[in-house]
Structure 1
């Protein structure tokens, strides 16, 4: 399929200045007036994505098969612009069209890691696509997109050559980003911020060894520094707000893992966002809740940091704070929008590769809604696990039983959402919730095994190595020996929030 949108034929300097170019060769008039060498013109053919499917079928028939597996979908712009394509399109990962090798990376990225849901699917998605098309080969955003896409497809195919290419693109993106950070104005740009997010996504997809955690954490800390640099200007545009939403949960994950309080810059921006016009609009559209679940997550992170620092005057004060946070989570559930309600169907046995052994299923209005509920569930698991690990709740008490029930019920409900994500790019949103389920010793063995096998399935279908790594972390056989597994972080170090934006 082709991208039929109009592309500027002007030279690079005229395009960057957003002025009309007379396209003279070897030098345009505008460059001559500036007394600067004309940088030349792009080869527009290299930016075209043409659908030759029918002609190929007519010439070769249906006997010749592509070397690519069916979970790589090319022609991302054509698919992105189809009005009938939305987040619940069936078999999203199984649709593909043959494409040139140079296009495999971006095709896989926009098919499997793109933003196909509101509020991201309108302006932000188009900006990202256009940034890729308009950028030069050395541009940080373009290189980041190619690095992430090539990493994913190389993981699915097990292709060493593509893996090397993805690493080269990663280095190109990092080099271009460093140049941008050397200029105060460019360091504050959306392009720089987007590149950092892409680099952190690359590390997540390529996560094979425990030491790679520090590479991912370095990018997230870099994004935190950029948030401080950008300040309140982060929230002056819709794109800036969406970038903030994308990175927020990753920053909270770092804080939670290291028992650190929420950075003041993040807390301040979150407070501003809660009263912003953009959030109010999205709330009216049913995209965000009346109360901020992200605000509750900030409170959980600060609670963990306070416990670690022993800031509470007494054990009872700490327990009271935990119960108050849990009450907020319950209130959020009770007052959630009717648009987010899900149905429970009894008499159905689910099989996700290993038996879940429950005779019911949950039916959600959309995958986005299922993701939001999983965000809520993982927060309950984290909070109640903190309470039990601290030893503040007597093991024979009613409160202890309530904590255990909260953890096991939330874990089972996370597993029940797996079927809703089948064949969807949103499967990746299950990685952290399923890891928490597979790691939690209070869960029955068959529930933990179900979650572990689903993580392995996500690794093979989405090319997300972190899913397989976390599954192997919880494997009893592999944890029983071996120097590599001995280096894997402990449970406390791997407490995770979902890397999925929430309101």
Structure 2
């Protein structure tokens, strides 16, 4: 399924004649005028996606062995997903509909999760997915028995994408090529099912469809495919949601969900633009990237629509997303044009960055003494296991949606100041008056402050596998509100990388971030975590400074 942009809503006759169709019911005026039978109008939503499932499935089938997975799994069984837990005997396993688990994600604690337990790879993959990507994460059930009240987990329509995501993670951790092929096969089936489902999205099915598309993006993240593929799915989810808004009967606060998809699109674009280059840790590259695509035009239409629909509580995020879009546009432009020291265009670029920096500073100040303000709490060691919580401190926000918005603010503000510091080095003549030494000193101090806040915020978005429910109780003082819990993990990994690779960040910050990303790789099998860990490791080389 590939997002193809907004399709024409006109009838076939008008499209063939390349004239404007007024779409009058039951027949358009143009057809009536020439005495032709109007063939009716297409559903625009289904046309926003091109069904690529055939290609995906053919590729998978080309690698497919003649024997079925069930027969081969007896000799090459994938790892159990429940972290050092003994398998549950089939004789004692509950009926297929049952879902049970204990409350802990810690390996040493029993956590008997059963989800349609059986000998097949699909069952094991879904078990892996639920255990690693659902249980205990913010805004998700804390224990397996709570999943009985979560319809999407049990839906047959979700089975293929759940299996695909689980198999992708398991195959990464075991380097099992056969399982990777099977993951592609189920991903192709999910694409095929989704291509038909989007034609009939209604208020009842919208949440199911949204979760499916978001998990398709998650599959791309776990499998380690290119950034544009992930963005396509996020854009597709936003297109589906925008088409349904502003219907009052929609679940889970539609405008807030659309805002989060816009944030995800922007961070994914920034990540893809930086990390696809030979200089992944810089904002102003030394080489021009002529293939750097601009932000999709549809994004700005959705941002404009959000302005009309956002509630008072969400207006700060509606304002923030526009500032972030400005920064990503600026960052993208830096990679597609050549800038010379002393040139007016270079000065204009620095001024734009300074204005964005001022807007971000003003945005943060406006949240003081509002529901968007947050607090920091600290618990002396040894309450938290070593390496799980940065500085043994954590944040408390009004809800997880606000917590996510703050982290989007942080990565943007860090990169904006990093851009200014790079400009001061690369363009000394231009920056003499625009970026005096005092401004550069403030930029470094702000980066360090924002980097620390990013690392302290991590348990709000991702739970280290060594943490137990008694630790979760601290972080769960932040109420739910993220609408969809799953997308928070890959986004926070990108934010941690930004914080750790920023100029002036001390070695202790970088080492904690590196260990966190490596843990996420070992825990989730997410290729993105391993790639980002490589960038952080590279940035740590030669860094000797210690924190004050």
Q: Normalization by structure 1: what TM-score?
A: 0.61
Alpha-carbon distance change, 148 to 245 in structure 1, aligned in 2, over 3 angstroms: farther
Q: Structure 2 matches for 1:27-38, cutoff 5 A?
A: none
Which of 391, 394, 407 is residue 363 of structure 1 equivalent to?
394
Q: Which residue of 2 aligns with 1:397?
A: 437
Aligned-residue offset at 1:443: 1.9
Q: Is 1:340 aligned to 2:374, yes or no?
A: yes
Aligned-partner SS, 1:238: coil
Q: Which residue of 2 aligns with 1:201?
A: 218
Q: Structure 2 matches for 1:78-227, cutoff 5 A?
A: 91=105, 95-97=111-113, 99-100=117-118, 101=120, 102-114=122-134, 129-135=150-156, 139=157, 141-181=158-198, 184-186=199-201, 190=206, 191-207=208-224, 212-227=226-241
Alpha-carbon distance change, 235 to 113 in structure 1, aligned in 2, over 3 angstroms: farther
Contact 1:109–1:149 (Cα < 8 Å) also in 2: yes
Q: CA RMSD in A?
A: 4.6
Aligned-partner SS, 2:229: helix
Which one is further off, 142-151 or 337-346? Answer: 337-346
Which of 461, 464, 468 is residue 422 of structure 1 equivalent to?
464
Contact 2:262–2:321 (Cα < 8 Å) also in 1: no
Aligned-residue offset at 1:203: 0.5
Using the alignment, how far apart are the partners of 1:67 and 1:459 within structure 2?
Answer: 15
Q: Structure 2 matches for 1:453-464, cutoff 5 A?
A: 453-464=515-526
Which one is further off, 340-349 or 316-325? Answer: 340-349
Structure 1 residues not aligned, in runs of 5+: 1-65, 480-503
Which of 360, 377, 381 is residue 414 of structure 2 equivalent to?
381
Using the alignment, how far apart are the partners of 2:150 and 2:239 within structure 1?
Answer: 26
Alpha-carbon distance change, 67 to 198 in structure 1, aligned in 2, over 3 angstroms: closer
Alpha-carbon distance change, 393 to 351 in structure 1, aligned in 2, over 3 angstroms: farther
Aligned-partner SS, 1:475: helix
Contact 2:410–2:450 (Cα < 8 Å) also in 1: yes
Contact 1:408–1:442 (Cα < 8 Å) also in 2: yes
Which of 534, 538, 542 is residue 476 of structure 1 equivalent to?
538
Aligned-residue offset at 1:202: 0.5
Using the alignment, how far apart are the partners of 1:431 and 1:452 within structure 2?
Answer: 10
Aligned-partner SS, 2:266: helix
Contact 2:454–2:496 (Cα < 8 Å) also in 1: yes
Aligned-residue offset at 1:323: 3.8
Q: Which residue of 1 aligns with 2:505?
A: 443
Q: Which residue of 2 aligns with 1:329?
A: 363
Using the alignment, how far apart are the partners of 1:305 and 1:427 within structure 2?
Answer: 24
Alpha-carbon distance change, 332 to 299 in structure 1, aligned in 2, over 3 angstroms: same
Contact 1:388–1:400 (Cα < 8 Å) also in 2: yes
Contact 1:377–1:414 (Cα < 8 Å) also in 2: yes
Using the alignment, how far apart are the partners of 2:84 and 2:263 within structure 1?
Answer: 28
Q: Which residue of 1 aligns with 2:50?
A: none
Q: Which residue of 1 aligns with 2:39?
A: none
Alpha-carbon distance change, 220 to 372 in structure 1, aligned in 2, over 3 angstroms: closer
Aligned-residue offset at 1:435: 1.2
Contact 2:237–2:261 (Cα < 8 Å) also in 1: yes
Which one is further off, 436-445 or 187-196? Answer: 187-196
Contact 2:82–2:131 (Cα < 8 Å) also in 1: no
Which of 287, 295, 300 is residue 260 of structure 1 equivalent to?
295
Aligned-residue offset at 1:303: 4.0
Alpha-carbon distance change, 338 to 269 in structure 1, aligned in 2, over 3 angstroms: closer
Alpha-carbon distance change, 129 to 438 in structure 1, aligned in 2, over 3 angstroms: same
Contact 2:490–2:528 (Cα < 8 Å) also in 1: no
Contact 1:293–1:332 (Cα < 8 Å) also in 2: no
Alpha-carbon distance change, 319 to 245 in structure 1, aligned in 2, over 3 angstroms: closer
Alpha-carbon distance change, 261 to 179 in structure 1, aligned in 2, over 3 angstroms: closer
Aligned-partner SS, 2:134: coil
Using the alignment, how far apart are the partners of 2:235 and 2:140 within structure 1?
Answer: 23
Q: Which residue of 2 aligns with 1:46?
A: none
Using the alignment, how far apart are the partners of 1:194 and 1:432 within structure 2?
Answer: 21
Contact 1:197–1:219 (Cα < 8 Å) also in 2: yes
Q: Normalization by structure 2: what TM-score?
A: 0.57
Alpha-carbon distance change, 168 to 154 in structure 1, aligned in 2, over 3 angstroms: same
Contact 2:234–2:264 (Cα < 8 Å) also in 1: yes
Aligned-partner SS, 2:165: helix
Q: Which residue of 2 aligns with 1:295?
A: 319
Using the alignment, how far apart are the partners of 1:97 and 1:117 within structure 2?
Answer: 15
Aligned-partner SS, 2:80: coil
Aligned-residue offset at 1:301: 1.5
Structure 2 residues not aligned, in runs of 5+: 1-77, 89-93, 274-292, 338-344, 425-429, 468-485, 542-548
Aligned-residue offset at 1:361: 3.4
Contact 1:297–1:379 (Cα < 8 Å) also in 2: no
Aligned-partner SS, 1:422: coil
Aligned-partner SS, 2:392: strand
Aligned-residue offset at 1:69: 5.2
